Structure 1
């Protein structure tokens, strides 16, 4: 019996880097300046990549650039390939003399752990300069799109958002104070971040799906305030491993609250802003998230992130 190997198509990293640069700066001319190439050379590389994959990746309508659906799907993989390429080359290169990076961390997911990791990086690397912005995931996405941030960790609803490099899922759980039970209330009192938070949307969507009444009794963009309000017995909320603390208890599935959809966590960045220090920051943020996801707490064990 003969086996026929499928034809393997190798994606050249120089073509992928040009593609990512063009869609990030939304201009062939600006991309050419960043890549030290001529504008016709950049256009030719995009055409070569499109011929290689067999699909149109970028469409130009007047002065407006549109990335096709196939292009958006390729972009996430392209950033992953370039990241691995740059990390591998970093073994043989000296780090940039210094870097100024703008980092966005989510208030609504493990901000304390991620912030601690960023702080450790700063202390260990004198040449690294970071500006850190902690905010709701929605606001971080908007800031990245406005080119006000370079790297963010943020929750997202689904699909393949722009600048997504790596994605994870984590299962949120209902939590309340140790002496509180949901069956004490007709309308479930909720402790939440402001409207627009993914956690808040998950809670209210789940309660609507089972026609359970609810009311928001406490709202704050600050995760510490949300945690304090839950421990103080003001109401119930949903949290994940990095933000669950002592003084809270998970609400079991037989206590009447609806099941929750998993949360999507993403690492997003602008490839054109990264450099060797950016790769280091992205790698350490990735390791921090994966350490939490790899070692989930056992039932009844609470993590204190303070």
Structure 2
């Protein structure tokens, strides 16, 4: 059987459906109508000669052929986007220093910065991973050029806000009876007051067993069963038990992150990187279901 040539727009529609979990959400992501996405999906299946998605009244699942094509489609679209950016990007030269919160310095997000310097080989990238309060101070002192940091009272927000849920996390063998052993971050971490207030409203009793400035250290402590920790979605690891209201843990408010730049000086590199991030964060933080595959933490951009 001969398979027809792949069309970028058809692959985009297929990947969007696989990652969004349904055609309607995929259409919103691509700014295309639902009938348009459905038609593009059927055209791609006609070219492949095999069904790519199994559909029933409630679910959509990738077929074996769909799972194979999904992995190749990701590579094709990534290469296509890199070529498009390289051809359309301005010539940039110099150094840019960016900051990321520790729990949010994921491989997927860091890959944005790595791709940025691949597209701009004459740009040197410096990266600082720290808590948001430190990043805001560094921005105010012009020690870094750009940061993705927690938005808070008195902080000007950019047009792109990433909303990320907070969760109670523990190991399977961690005791959940009062007084609860807590693993916490020191002030000025905003998670502290949110956790304490939620537990107080629920009538729970607790004590602070471990206090650490390191997200990695908190994750190890959680994994060891030392206590319960309040963590954003990006810091939840495989093997963690996420505790919900049915387990006696009150729902926590979400966190908001924003893109911030220096207060005094800007450069073409920073301007372009900020614009680049605003566009790409929408895809990075989108939930990836791949229909039958593993889902990522629930992040969304508003």
TM bracket (short chain): 0.5 to 0.7
Shift of 1:141: 1.0
Give the structure 1 partner of residue 185 of structure 2: 193
Distance 1:302 1:187 in 2: 33
Give the structure 2 partner of residue 144 of structure 1: 139
| SS of the residue 1:122 aligns to | helix
Give the structure 2 partner of residue 131 of structure 1: 126
Verify the 8 A CA contact 2:157 2:258 in the aligned structure 1: no
Shift of 1:119: 3.3
Gap runs ≥5 in structure 2 = 1-85, 298-302
Give the structure 2 partner of residue 217 of structure 1: 209
Distance 1:188 1:289 in 2: 36
1:278 aligns with 2:266: no
Shift of 1:92: 7.3
Across the two proteins, how many residue pairs are aligned to each other? 210
Give the structure 2 partner of residue 169 of structure 1: 163
1:121 aligns with 2:116: yes
Shift of 1:256: 0.9
Give the structure 2 partner of residue 33 of structure 1: none
Give the structure 1 partner of residue 254 of structure 2: 262
Pick one of 96, 100, 110 that aligns with 1:101: 96
Verify the 8 A CA contact 1:150 1:270 in the aligned structure 2: yes
Give the structure 1 partner of residue 232 of structure 2: 240
TM-score for the superposition, normalised by structure 2: 0.60
Query: How big is each residue's C-alpha offset from its partner over 1:131-166, in whole Å with a ceiling of 9 and x where there is no partner?
Result: 2111111111111112222111111234x5147453
Cα-Cα RMSD: 3.1
Verify the 8 A CA contact 1:108 1:137 in the aligned structure 2: no
| SS of the residue 2:160 aligns to | strand
Verify the 8 A CA contact 2:163 2:255 in the aligned structure 1: yes
Gap runs ≥5 in structure 1 = 1-89
